Amino acid sequence: MEYIYAAMLLHSANQDVNEDNVKKVLEAAGSEVDEARVKALIAALEDVDIEEAMEKTAVSAAAPAAAAAAPAEAEETEVEEEEEEEEEKEEEAAAGLGALFG
């Protein structure tokens, strides 16, 4: 995965995505470089529009994140409603106790 990240980083920095630059990024990150994997990556990316691929990935990743947020919001609403009900019950109980001493 770090090989793909290296290519994405180079692309984002407006640098050429080539074998030498990918190796430099991986070495700078402290990764062990496998020459065959670097060559395979560069060959695989030859006909790929990296910008388009990154945009599609970002959209694909955003959809599940948004879907995951919806249940969390619903759960928060339920908790808030339960807390309000408890407060109302406590107020009613306090009013009832007040009537005993009033």
Q: 43-84, pLDDT tens digit by residue?
A: 988 888 888 877 887 766 666 666 666 666 667 777 788 888
Tokens 């407060």: give the residue: 87
Averaged pLDDT score across all residues of the chain: 79
- Is residue 13's pLDDT more than 90? yes
- Per-position DSSP letters for 17-60, written without gaps between them: -SHHHHHHHHHHTTPPP-HHHHHHHHHHTTT--HHHHHHHHHHH
Residue 102, pLDDT score: 45
In the chain, where are the structural domains located? 1-48, 64-102
pLDDT, residue 35, reads 94
CATH class name, domain 1-48: mainly alpha
Longest distance between any two alpha carbons in the chain, whole Å: 88
pLDDT given at position 96: 52
